[in-house]
Structure 1
């Protein structure tokens, strides 16, 4: 379930929603449409789900993604969950205030995901489960930060 939800919210759903909206509204700005859906699904849905999981099931993240077998990290994992939940909510709200919120939310989440992905990347002895957030964090970070740069140059 974890793998499916991460891949769906990071890649599949934003691409599908972008294609559907651009097909239904051919004159729409493709950059704004794609940015809106990657922020909505990749930041809003994905980070909200991750945050809630980290708050209510910190042991899952500690054990399966960080390799920590004890409950010693639960407080830190829950605090990470608060940050993910806050970014997730911002990603959902950005849907309703696209022009003004999208670049800011994309920048914040993009920087966070880039740094988290790079941190995962250099960790030695990653499990197969750890590769999922590593790769998807980096993919989504590149997409979000590219959206920010193009938005600023437009």
Structure 2
């Protein structure tokens, strides 16, 4: 389920949204559409889903991704979930307010870039953490592309 959610929010749905909007409005700037839809899906929807899971099932993130079995770690994971929901809120609302795409892309680039580098530093990554690392670095790269090209 996790790899499917990553594929949908990080590749499939952004590309479908970009293609659909470009087909309907071919005069729209393609760079803006890349920023708009990757921010919405990869930063907004993905972090909302991750944040809600961290808030309501913190053991999943603690045990499955970080391999931490200590129940006290769940308190920190819940707070990570709050941060993810906050970032997601900005990204989700940016689909209605175009001026918010750039700040949401910046926050997404910083969060995903740092998270991806942290995963990269862990030499004993699990398969799930490898997926998280690759997807984190992917969206950071897309957000940085948008920020430099916009």
TM-score by length of 2: 0.97
Q: 8 Å contact 1:111–1:145 — kept in the other structure?
A: no
Q: Deviations over 1:19-77 (max 9, x none)?
A: 11112211111111111100110111000000000011000000000011221210111
2:122 aligned with 1:123, yes or no? yes
In 2, the alpha carbon distance for the partners of 1:11 and 1:117 equals 17
Secondary structure (helix, strand or coil) at the match of 2:113 reads: helix
Structure 1 outlier segments of 4+, above 6 Å: none
- TM superposition shift of 1:102: 0.5
Secondary structure (helix, strand or coil) at the match of 2:51 reads: helix
- TM superposition shift of 1:148: 1.0
Q: Could you tell me which residue of structure 2 aligns to residue 109 of structure 1?
A: 108
Q: 8 Å contact 1:44–1:90 — kept in the other structure?
A: yes
Count of aligned pairs: 150
In 2, the alpha carbon distance for the partners of 1:12 and 1:39 equals 13
TM-score by length of 1: 0.94
Question: Which moves more between the two structures, 123-132 or 54-63?
Answer: 123-132
2:65 aligned with 1:88, yes or no? no
Q: Could you tell me which residue of structure 2 aligns to residue 77 of structure 1?
A: 77
Q: Could you tell me which residue of structure 2 aligns to residue 53 of structure 1?
A: 53
- TM superposition shift of 1:7: 1.5
